[in-house]
Amino acid sequence: MVENRPFRDFMAYLTLVIGVIIVAFPVYLAIMASTFDTATIINGNMPLTPGDQAPENYTRALFYGGKLAREPVSMMMMNSMIMALGIAFGKILISILSAYAVVYFKFPFRKTAFWVIFITLMLPVEVRIYPTYKIVADLGLLDTYTGLIMPLIASATGTLLFRQFFMTVPDELLEASKIDGAGAFRFFKDTLLPLSMTTIAALFVIQFIYGWNQYLWPLLITTKSSMQTIVIGIKKMITTTDALTEWQIAMTTAVLAMVPPVLVVIFMQRLFVKGLVETEK
Amino acid sequence: MAGVTLDTVRKIYAGNVEAVKGVSLGIEDGSFCVLVGPSGCGKSTLLRMIAGLETISGGDIKIGDRVVNQVEPADRDIAMVFQNYALYPHMSVYDNMAYGLKNRKTPKDEIDKRVKEAARILAIEPFLDRKPRALSGGQRQRVAMGRAIVRKPQVFLFDEPLSNLDAKLRVQMRVEIKRLQKALGVTSVYVTHDQVEAMTLSDKLVVMSGGQIEQVGTPSEVYRRPETRFVATFIGSPPMNILPGKVEGPGRVSVGGQTIAVTDMRDGLTPGSAIEVGLRPEDVQAGGGAGSSSIAMDVDFVEELGATQLFHGKVAGTEFVVQASTGQIAADTRKLTLSIDPANVHLFDPQTTKRLGRD
């Protein structure tokens, strides 16, 4: 279709630009705030152009920490990274295996097993938080990475995603591999896993960000400051009672906290699209 | 090499649905056996049981001298070509063909030799590095056959392998499959619902219906002397006309008051009893002829097929089709007198639908 309507084009771009500004401006403001000192931000007249405090702010935040949350951000990022990766990989592993079992094996109570998994969808961490906390505490997993990661792995989203995908894989592929002498494990490894790469990538992105952004669970289960995640760190830096909030450090931390999820999205998106184009069942 | 023997093989699905009802069949070593029938007749189930993809509810399946009822598909020494090819989408053509051999721990140079040879036979050498998605339907079909060939199995199993191809390619691949099977001499079992494929490919044609075998024979036997009304109407295109008639006496039946002489008629049929008279559209001629009976037909319309024309109409109130070479009968003909060679009349029992010919 050939269209030459300058006014329409202009309106379309205008709407787009306004939308982008609404979404991006707070982020821009945070990035700018991370380049000034406290005084400039507090007096309410912060310029919208970059200041000269960036190197100092970032070094301080990364390696020394703020006045209130005294842990360096690098350590918090490491904690968050371990948690997010643990959740993402743990969930992929658990859910791909359980989906494989539910779809490809006939065993007693298969339907029941599926429904039990399905029901957990209705019970996010926030709902089952007390019993979960009790279990984790009784197992002595408070202030450990295992305690941070494990309860968040147990949910059905991944299993459902893989189940849906496996259902679209033609049965003949399984039968052809049976005739080709591949057993259950080899079919999984040689055929199903390579075909699932796109689904795995999608799930990784979702779960990494989910894990990285966790707030409530780490807040409950970690007490040691050495186990603190970055989201909690930011919160601690902002909520102050008797001291001046170090906004520049809080904003610096916020900017740093954005980096890994953004990188994951950018990097995985490529794999995603590539997978979407290349995979054919 | 080995033949395949089925001994009263049965398949009962959950809910007591009997898909295969006691089929016995011997497929000789090196022969090409085609199972043909309408959908749901159990032909695919039977093939899948030979492959080991379905359990056997009763009876025995033997490949060679070995009963394989409890043997895993991989250990039955068979290879199967699927309707949708079932190629591994993430593997190259080469890997697709080599996968089964790799799983069997065949030495690498042996795999390479066999894959290259199969690729040469099937003319897919230029595509060995490509993924299946980069191939056309016909090429994928060849790869699927290549995957079967490299295994050097005792039996090839084909599950409607040509149904996903367009008409022209189907004819071409049909010829190739036949040639390949003759060249390799491997016992083959081929399932199809297409009677042209069935007729052209088979040494042994097995017509199935409702989980049972209707008739086994060479294609010409099945065409010339169908044992049941089902076979008569299933094999042949357009299908055989079936007219309700009456027995007049030895070698004579009547349809709507017109007498037809019959060569192949069972002795001792009660005159006056009902009988079904089968006439192939290509076996009746327009106009009277010496030594043949004639019947009248009202023509409704004509279908042009190029070389031939199909005249649709009614004989004694029953639908009837006549096939004639183009130009033989004027297209605007409304009334036809058909002459019938007594040797071309097939008689069937209306109750049992069995052929009422000489034993």
**Based on the domain organization, do B171 and B95 belong to the same domain?**
yes
**Based on the domain organization, do B173 and B280 belong to the same domain?**
no
- Sign of dihedral through CA atoms B262, B265, B270, B273? negative
Residue B289 predicted with pLDDT over 70: no
Compare all CA atoms of chain A with the CA of B148 and give the residue at the minimum distance. A180
Give the CA angle between residues A69, A73, A77 to the nearest 5°.
125
Report the 10 Å Cβ neighbour count for B84: 17
**Based on the domain organization, do A85 and A47 belong to the same domain?**
no
Residues of B with CB below 8 A from A278's CB?
Answer: 133
Name which of B195, B188, B211, B202 is nearest B58 in CA terms: B211
Structure tokens at B205: 């044609």
Domain-embedded: residue B356: no
**Based on the domain organization, do B172 and B246 belong to the same domain?**
no
- Which residue, A44, A63, A82, sits at the end of a domain? A63
Residue B234 predicted with pLDDT over 90: yes
**Based on the domain organization, do B100 and B171 belong to the same domain?**
yes
**Based on the domain organization, do A124 and A10 belong to the same domain?**
no
- Sign of dihedral through CA atoms A202, A205, A211, A215? negative
Compare all CA atoms of chain B with the CA of A193 and give the residue at the minimum distance. B90
**Based on the domain organization, do A55 and A81 belong to the same domain?**
no
Q: How confident is the model at residue A114 (pLDDT cuts 50, 70, 90)?
A: confident
- Which residue, B200, B227, B254, sits at the end of a domain? B227
**pLDDT per residue as tens digits for the range B194-224:** 989 999 999 999 999 999 999 999 999 999 9
Domain count of the fold of chain B: 2
**pLDDT the model gives residue B333:** 82
Inter-chain CB proximity B80 and A175 less than 8 Å: yes
Residues of B with CB below 8 A from A195's CB?
Answer: 89-90
Chain B nearest CA to A280, separation (Å): 6
**Based on the domain organization, do A162 and A209 belong to the same domain?**
yes
**Based on the domain organization, do A127 and A43 belong to the same domain?**
no
**pLDDT per residue as tens digits for the range A84-102:** 999 999 999 999 999 999 9
Inter-chain CB proximity A179 and B89 less than 8 Å: no
Cβ under 8 Å to B: A residues 183-222: 186, 190-191, 194-195
Which secondary structure element, helix H or strand E, spans residue A212, and what is its range? Answer: helix A197-212
Cβ under 8 Å to A: B residues 109-148: 132-133, 147
**Based on the domain organization, do A150 and A177 belong to the same domain?**
yes
- Which residue, B188, B207, B227, sits at the end of a domain? B227
**Based on the domain organization, do B206 and B285 belong to the same domain?**
no
**Based on the domain organization, do B220 and B276 belong to the same domain?**
no
Which residues constitute the domain of residue A32? 6-63
**Based on the domain organization, do B162 and B245 belong to the same domain?**
no
Compare all CA atoms of chain B with the CA of A275 and give the residue at the minimum distance. B90
**Based on the domain organization, do B214 and B255 belong to the same domain?**
no
Residue A69 predicted with pLDDT over 70: no
Residue B46 predicted with pLDDT over 80: yes
Chain A nearest CA to B89, separation (Å): 6
B/e letters for B305-317, b = 16+ CB within 10 Å, e = fewer, are: eeeebebbbebbe
pTM of the model: 0.82
Domain-embedded: residue B358: no
Check CB contact of B83 with chain A, cutoff 8 Å: yes
**Based on the domain organization, do A189 and A54 belong to the same domain?**
no
Name which of B195, B258, B224, B248 is nearest B357 in CA terms: B224
**Based on the domain organization, do A107 and A207 belong to the same domain?**
yes
Domain containing residue B41: CATH number: 3.40.50.300
Chain A nearest CA to B29, separation (Å): 21
Query: Which of A176, A186, A194 minimises the CB distance to B86?
Result: A176
Check CB contact of A176 with chain B, cutoff 8 Å: yes
**Based on the domain organization, do A40 and A91 belong to the same domain?**
no
Compare all CA atoms of chain B with the CA of A173 and give the residue at the minimum distance. B86
**Based on the domain organization, do B217 and B254 belong to the same domain?**
no
Which residues constitute the domain of residue B128? 4-227
Percent of chain B with pLDDT over 90: 73
Inter-chain CB proximity A176 and B78 less than 8 Å: no
**pLDDT per residue as tens digits for the range B182-192:** 999 999 999 99
Check CB contact of B105 with chain A, cutoff 8 Å: no
Q: Which amino acid is at A218?
A: P
Work out how many CB contacts closer than 8 A connect A with B. 63
Residues of A with CB below 8 A from B89's CB?
Answer: 195, 279-281
**pLDDT the model gives residue B288:** 65
Residues of A with CB below 8 A from B100's CB?
Answer: 179-181
Domain-embedded: residue A1: no
Q: How many CA atoms lie within 13 A of B102 on its CB side?
A: 14
What is the Cα–Cα distance from A196 to A103, expressed in whole angstroms? Answer: 14
Residue A275 predicted with pLDDT over 70: no
Domain containing residue B335: CATH number: 2.40.50.140
Q: How confident is the model at residue B8 (pLDDT cuts 50, 70, 90)?
A: very high
**Based on the domain organization, do B222 and B242 belong to the same domain?**
no
Check CB contact of A232 with chain B, cutoff 8 Å: no
**pLDDT the model gives residue A68:** 57
Query: In sequence order, which residues have a C-beta less than 8 Å from that of residue A272 and are 6 or more positions away?
Result: A198, A201, A202, A205
**pLDDT per residue as tens digits for the range A144-156:** 999 999 988 877 8
Compare all CA atoms of chain A with the CA of B150 and give the residue at the minimum distance. A180
Q: How confident is the model at residue A273 (pLDDT cuts 50, 70, 90)?
A: low
What is the Cα–Cα distance from B247 to B249, expressed in whole angstroms? Answer: 6
Domain-embedded: residue B275: yes
Chain A nearest CA to B45, separation (Å): 14
**Based on the domain organization, do A111 and A192 belong to the same domain?**
yes
Domain-embedded: residue A80: yes
Domain-embedded: residue B120: yes
**Based on the domain organization, do B209 and B273 belong to the same domain?**
no
Q: How many CA atoms lie within 13 A of B243 on its CB side?
A: 30
CA B95 from chain center: how many Å?
33
**Based on the domain organization, do B265 and B217 belong to the same domain?**
no
**Based on the domain organization, do A47 and A87 belong to the same domain?**
no
Domain-embedded: residue B233: no
Residues of A with CB below 8 A from B86's CB?
Answer: 170, 172-173, 175-176
Domain count of the fold of chain A: 2
**pLDDT the model gives residue B191:** 95
Domain-embedded: residue B232: no
- Which residue, B227, B262, B280, sits at the end of a domain? B227
Domain-embedded: residue A68: no
**pLDDT the model gives residue B97:** 94
Residue A280 predicted with pLDDT over 60: no
**Based on the domain organization, do A49 and A100 belong to the same domain?**
no
Interface test with B, best of A169, A177, A180 (most B CBs within 10 A): A180
Chain A nearest CA to B169, separation (Å): 23
Check CB contact of A106 with chain B, cutoff 8 Å: no
Provide the 8-state DSSP code for B104.
T
